[in-house]
Amino acid sequence: GWGAAMAEAEGLLSVDYEVSGKVQGVFFRKYTQGEAKRLGLVGWVQNTSHGTVQGQIQGPTARVRELQEWLRKIGSPQSRISRAEFSNEKEIKALEHKEFQILK
């Protein structure tokens, strides 16, 4: 369909992220998953042992950019984001995840 053609024309992006600040214990992962699903993105999110939240996002470039912006500025209602870092950005031929998961 038309949607698939659009995604193809635009290309798929994969990017890793790590968000610092008050991001654990404030439903940050659940909200990130909800926002990713709303945008039609796949990947994962998890808490780290050093108090940050990290993960990977994959999907159409424009949608990935939207979630990056959300991770930088918004997050969950009670969160306080001090920094969002993105790395390993690359174009991919196909999505490597089936959905957007919260990893323990």
CATH number of the domain that residue 57 is part of: 3.30.70.100
The domain containing residue 76 runs over which residues? 2-102
**Would you say residue 4 has pLDDT above 80?**
no
Catalytic residue among 29, 65, 80, 83: 29
Q: Is 88 a catalytic residue?
A: no
pTM of the full structure: 0.89
Per-residue pLDDT band at 5 (split at 50, 70, 90): low
Beta strands in 1-104 (DSSP E): 12-22, 42-47, 53-60, 80-92, 100-102
Catalytic residue among 47, 65, 80, 88: 47
Q: Specify the number of domains making up the chain.
A: 1
pLDDT, tens digit, for every residue of 57-77? 999 999 999 999 999 999 999
Mean pLDDT value of segment 91-104: 95
Order of all β-strands in the sheet with 42-47: 80-92, 12-22, 53-60, 42-47, 100-102
Q: Is 47 a catalytic residue?
A: yes
- Is 28:79 a contact under the CB 8 Å cutoff? yes
Q: What is the pLDDT of residue 104?
A: 83
Q: What is the pLDDT of residue 3?
A: 56
